[in-house]
């Protein structure tokens, strides 16, 4: 991705500057001690570092693919977890009140449809809002570059000084890279505002994944009620949902980072809390009405 290429160029540029300066100081000390008969010509400090490519074939493509997998996995876990948790609480609450399989199944399917559409819409609108915010901040920074370029350069210089570069090194890097206004703008967005390009954000893709995951997750607690009713169906629904929740959490930890046992148990606990809430409401309803 572009911001990674820019970061590599910045780091390579700073490293070359420091290496050349160290070599100059070393040569000066050798001359003072009489260890070097004649100075040799040192390579000039680089004006601009050439684009750096990954030493590993396909390295950048792998990075982009890993990002895409992580984002898709996040959407699958989000949609599936929400579907299971919401429907588990709903099904257990209704199952306590009635044993009519038709009512239970219709309730589950209707809730699953509404839940999935709702989750897909939320995923779409949240991604669009994120894109809109990024673009608005990008336009604002573009205008600031036009209105006060000196201040915007100083902001970047200060950012690199906080990272440990000397002021003259930071100044040289910023001066080189702000020759291209598009690169300048990306540097401000990332180094100053810590906002990253929304080009790879695809609201429709996220909405479809979250919606599909929510459908699948919502059906998990409903499946046992197709075959049995009463407390036996409740037990099967709880067990099946717990297994799927744990598996989803563990898979997320394995693919990304974290303890798979802890992540799996976290999702199971969330699901069980929802189940207890639904079961408690159902029991309260039956006690109040005496059914």
Report the number of distinct structural domains present in the chain.
Answer: 1
Residue 245 lies in a domain: yes
Residue 194 lies in a domain: yes
Residue 1 lies in a domain: no
Residue 204 lies in a domain: yes
Residue 291 lies in a domain: no
Can you give the pLDDT at residue 106? 92
Residue 210 lies in a domain: yes
- What would the pLDDT profile of 106-154 be if each residue is shown by its tens digit? 998 998 898 889 888 988 888 888 888 888 888 888 888 888 888 888 8
Residue 207 lies in a domain: yes
- What would the pLDDT profile of 227-286 be if each residue is shown by its tens digit? 888 888 888 988 898 898 898 888 777 766 677 888 888 888 888 888 888 878 877 877
Residue 211 lies in a domain: yes
Which residues span the domain enclosing 248?
A: 67-284
3-state per-residue secondary structure call for the chain: CHHHHHHHHHHHHHHHHHHHHHHHHHHHHHHHCCCCCCCCCCCCCCCCCCCCCCCCCCHHHHHHHHHHHHHHHHHHHHHHHHHHHHHHHHHHHHHHHCCCHHHHHHHHHHHHHHHHHHHHHHHHHHHHHHHHHHHHHHHHHHHHHHHCHHHHHHHHHHHHHHCCCCHHHHHHHHHHHCCCHHHHHHHHHHHHCCCCCCCCCCHHHHHHHHHHHHHHHHHCCCHHHHCCCHHHHHHHHHHHHHHHHHHHHHHHHHHCCCCHHHHHHHHHHHHHHHHHHHHHHHHHHHHHHCC
What's the pLDDT band for 204 if we cut at 50, 70, 90? confident
- Does residue 55 register a pLDDT over 60? no
């Amino acid at each position: 991705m572009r911001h990674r290429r820019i970061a590599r160029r910045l780091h390579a540029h700073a490293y070359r500057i420091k290496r050349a300066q160290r070599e100059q100081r070393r040569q000066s000390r050798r001359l003072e001690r009489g260890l070097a008969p004649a100075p040799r010509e040192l390579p000039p400090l680089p004006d601009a570092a050439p684009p750096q490519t990954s030493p590993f074939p396909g390295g950048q493509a792998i990075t982009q693919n890993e990002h895409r997998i992580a984002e898709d996995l996040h959407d699958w876990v989000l949609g599936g977890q929400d579907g299971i948790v919401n429907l588990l609480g709903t099904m257990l609450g209704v199952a306590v009140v009635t044993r009519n399989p038709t009512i239970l199944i219709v309730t589950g399917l209707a809730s699953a449809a509404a839940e999935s559409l709702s989750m897909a819409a939320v995923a779409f609108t949240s991604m669009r809002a994120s894109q809109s915010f990024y673009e608005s901040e990008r336009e604002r920074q573009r205008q600031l570059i036009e209105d006060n370029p000196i201040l915007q350069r100083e902001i970047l210089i200060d950012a690199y000084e906080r990272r440990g570069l000397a002021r003259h090194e930071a100044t040289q890097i910023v001066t080189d890279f702000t020759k291209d206004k598009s690169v300048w703008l990306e540097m401000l967005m990332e180094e100053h505002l810590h906002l990253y390009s929304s080009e790879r954000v695809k609201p429709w893709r996220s909405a479809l994944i979250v919606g599909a995951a929510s459908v699948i997750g919502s059906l998990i607690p409903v499946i046992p009620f197709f075959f049995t009713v009463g407390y036996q169906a409740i037990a099967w629904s709880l067990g099946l949902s717990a297994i799927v929740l744990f598996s989803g959490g563990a898979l997320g930890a394995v693919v990304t980072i974290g303890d798979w046992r802890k992540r799996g148990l976290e999702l199971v606990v969330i699901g069980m809390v929802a189940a207890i809430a639904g079961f408690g409401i159902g029991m309260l309803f039956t006690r109040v009405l005496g059914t």
